[in-house]
Structure 1
Amino acid sequence: MADIAIEFIDVVKKYNDVTAVDQINLSIRRGELVTFLGPSGCGKTTSLRLVAGLELPTAGQMLIHGRDVSRRPASERNVGMVFQSYALFPHMSVLDNVAYGPVIRGESKHKAHARALEILELLGLPNLSRRLPSELSGGQQQRVAVARAIAQQPEVMLFDEPLSNVDAKLRRKVRAEIRELQQRFGLTAIYVTHDQEEALAVSDRIVVMNAGRIAQIGTPEDLYDRPNSPFVADFIGDANLVDGKVAAGCFSAGNLNLAIPGEAGNARVSIRPERIVLGGSAKPGSISGEIVSATYLGSRMEYVIATNFTELLVSRPIAEPRLGLKQHVSLVINEKDLTRVS
């Protein structure tokens, strides 16, 4: 299809007896930012390197804009990459770093510098063009690394955990800048991270990976609100995973009884901590519990509440009245906030 930029077709990557990527099938549209998310060793970085040509597949095909690049080296793919370490040349100025790709491809230094200055202007870095990387902050180095990749006019942009070396306060700002630039230039991008909040913030779609396989693909909202397995529910944000039974269209666990679609039998459901409503006294349709821990987290309180069937994590805004340890409370869970995951 003309609007497909990247395709994985039955892609497998093995290292001796270890299967790092196991039979992946995925299509990424032009101008889309797709994030590979998962724990260490899940295959997300290997998948990125397969697109870049830094690794070649053991089996299957890699296509970029319809061209089979499965056996082509990195030098024959028009792909820009932003590494964890930024990989800026320490002896070169910001301007020369950004212009480096076009210059080595044979473009005149004058023309390459002119384009580099335009991109630095767009990124808000024109006054830093003569500085060395060592004279920049982490956030500035990150933007220079992005500028250098954009200057190559790549068909595809790859981000390998780009915020791992940026301090916590800068991450929110830099990730917003990366997303804004990707949309402004209409770049097709793959973004690798193990940070769930980062993935939710920057992505059009997220590919959750586990043990070399794709566990689920969807928009941030899909994955958060409709996880398809206990692994995805627990990995994307916090989740209460509750075991019970489904009979006659009702899920039951202890004194929790809520309507739910699906087949009868043993079931596990996911309930997000912030969707549970707390009250000080019993209400119709509520369950009762006792607070066994209360944690202050600045913008919210997190409570662990013991019920007659399990302990539930509950997150409430800090503006709500504070509740104390051993306090008996009612918990209200709406049917729409229950997601069956097994």
Structure 2
Amino acid sequence: MSETAIEFTDVEKRYGDVRAVDAISFSIRKGELVTFLGPSGCGKTTSLRLIAGLELPTAGTVRIAGENVSTRAASERNVGMVFQSYALFPHMNVIDNVAYGPTIRGGAKKAAIERGREILTLLGLDGLEKRLPSELSGGQQQRVAVARAIVQQPDVLLFDEPLSNVDAKLRRRVREEIRDLQRRFNLTAVYVTHDQEEALAVSDRIVVMSQGKIAQIGTPQELYDRPSSRFVADFIGDANLIEGAVSQNAFTVEGLSLPLPQPAPDGPATISVRPERIALEKGDGVSKIRTATYLGSRYEYIVDTPFGTVLVSAPISLAPLDRGDTVKLGIAPGGFTVVEHA
């Protein structure tokens, strides 16, 4: 049996002359949580809708559980979806909301309710079966929406910006709940968000999209530590993009020479350095602190250097630096990656 749950092969979606999704190919393994991430208009939500069957591809093939579903409507696909608004029926209580899907598809209502109660108990919602959605907290409503999707035993569970309606203080807890549920039920899940931290926190892999194309696919650590382009480096977290040149397997720029972790061709190049990978030492350096900001868990510095301005993040355990201090700047081996060759 194939371990591939979802497969796109050269999938396009056009609206007139606009290519919302431009010939993308990827696969998602069973039991994997993959996030589509990118700026507004990049094609991530359209890709999710192509999996759901809410949109049909203009070209290419969509397979779910090994079957070609490219021309099948949403009702003909075994896919569950958790919407931004949760889309719970306000006039139905919790258990009727959860049992609605299997019942409307012709299943026995008694069996659907029994299965629904089991899932509600697993989600910590037992005792709330008779409440209306308006009597639940936002987090509880989300879990009901997840329960309603899981009860149908879908091949794939889709999350469309699921935390957009959750208070900022609750997002960490709710995203942890989503991840725990996905692992507990061994669900194949596809998640859409524009929030980089959220994507890094919940995903096995991330598909970064730009202008309808896939910019890079990888684990959170791969995308953060080894972005393949300026766009990915700049979009995932904070990055210092430093322009210089590669010569004899070293990157050089005024006042700085860094041995490359992997061989690269000579010539002009750009590296990406994360703010926390830069070390500052107070002394007779050629760089100067422009601004120093205390952020509780870390210090953040804007530093003027011979090769431009950089952002530096330093742990709170280090002695603070002040605006105007002269510093030496260092980058740890392996603390950077080449993202562009001229």
The question of whether the paired residues in 1 share the 8 Å contact of 2:133 and 2:141 is answered with: yes
Whichever residue aligns with residue 341 of structure 1, its letter is V
* 1:276 matches 2:278: yes
Deviations 1:231-263 (A, max 9, x none): 001111110000011112221111111112300
Name the stretch that deviates more: 225-234 or 244-253. Answer: 244-253
Give the equivalent residue in structure 2 for 1:72: 72
Whichever residue aligns with residue 58 of structure 1, its letter is T
Deviations 1:61-105 (A, max 9, x none): 000111110000000000000001110111111111111111111
Give the equivalent residue in structure 2 for 1:91: 91
1:112 partner SS: helix
Which sections of structure 1, spanning at least 5 residues, go unmatched?
Answer: none
* 1:161 matches 2:132: no
**Residue pairs, 1:300-339, within 5 angstroms:** 300-339=298-337
Distance of 2:97 and 2:328 partners within structure 1: 60
Give the equivalent residue in structure 2 for 1:28: 28
Distance of 1:339 and 1:36 partners within structure 2: 23
Q: Give the fraction of aligned pairs with identical amino acids, expressed as a percent.
A: 67
Distance of 1:111 and 1:250 partners within structure 2: 66
2:321 partner SS: coil
Distance of 1:330 and 1:135 partners within structure 2: 58
| Displacement after TM superposition at 1:152 (Å) | 1.0
**Residue pairs, 1:250-269, within 5 angstroms:** 250-260=250-260, 261-269=263-271
**Residue pairs, 1:136-147, within 5 angstroms:** 136-147=136-147
Whichever residue aligns with residue 181 of structure 2, its letter is L
Give the equivalent residue in structure 1 for 2:294: 296
Distance of 1:54 and 1:87 partners within structure 2: 16
Give the equivalent residue in structure 2 for 1:56: 56
Aligned length: 338
Distance of 1:77 and 1:324 partners within structure 2: 60
Q: Provide TM-score, normalisation by structure 2.
A: 0.97
Distance of 1:279 and 1:144 partners within structure 2: 52
* 1:12 matches 2:12: yes
| Displacement after TM superposition at 1:331 (Å) | 1.5
Whichever residue aligns with residue 330 of structure 1, its letter is K
Distance of 1:22 and 1:229 partners within structure 2: 19
Distance of 2:150 and 2:74 partners within structure 1: 16
| Displacement after TM superposition at 1:335 (Å) | 2.9
Which sections of structure 2, spanning at least 5 residues, go unmatched?
Answer: none
Deviations 1:121-159 (A, max 9, x none): 111111221111111111111111111100111011000
Whichever residue aligns with residue 50 of structure 1, its letter is L
Distance of 1:230 and 1:135 partners within structure 2: 47
Deviations 1:280-326 (A, max 9, x none): 125xxxx6311111222221111000011111100012232221111
Distance of 1:320 and 1:136 partners within structure 2: 45
1:25 partner SS: strand
**Residue pairs, 1:146-185, within 5 angstroms:** 146-185=146-185
The question of whether the paired residues in 1 share the 8 Å contact of 2:32 and 2:204 is answered with: yes
* 1:239 matches 2:239: yes
Distance of 2:188 and 2:175 partners within structure 1: 16
Distance of 1:107 and 1:65 partners within structure 2: 22
Distance of 1:300 and 1:129 partners within structure 2: 45
Q: Provide TM-score, normalisation by structure 1.
A: 0.97
Give the equivalent residue in structure 1 for 2:132: 132
Distance of 1:91 and 1:300 partners within structure 2: 48
Whichever residue aligns with residue 5 of structure 2, its letter is A
Deviations 1:255-281 (A, max 9, x none): 111112300111000000001112212
1:12 partner SS: strand
Q: Structure 1 residue runs of 4+, over 4 Å off?
A: none
The question of whether the paired residues in 1 share the 8 Å contact of 2:225 and 2:336 is answered with: no
1:329 partner SS: strand
Whichever residue aligns with residue 15 of structure 1, its letter is Y
Deviations 1:148-205 (A, max 9, x none): 1001110110000101110111111111111111111111111111111111111111
Distance of 2:331 and 2:95 partners within structure 1: 56
Deviations 1:19-51 (A, max 9, x none): 000010001111111110000100000000000
Coordinate RMSD, CA, aligned: 1.1
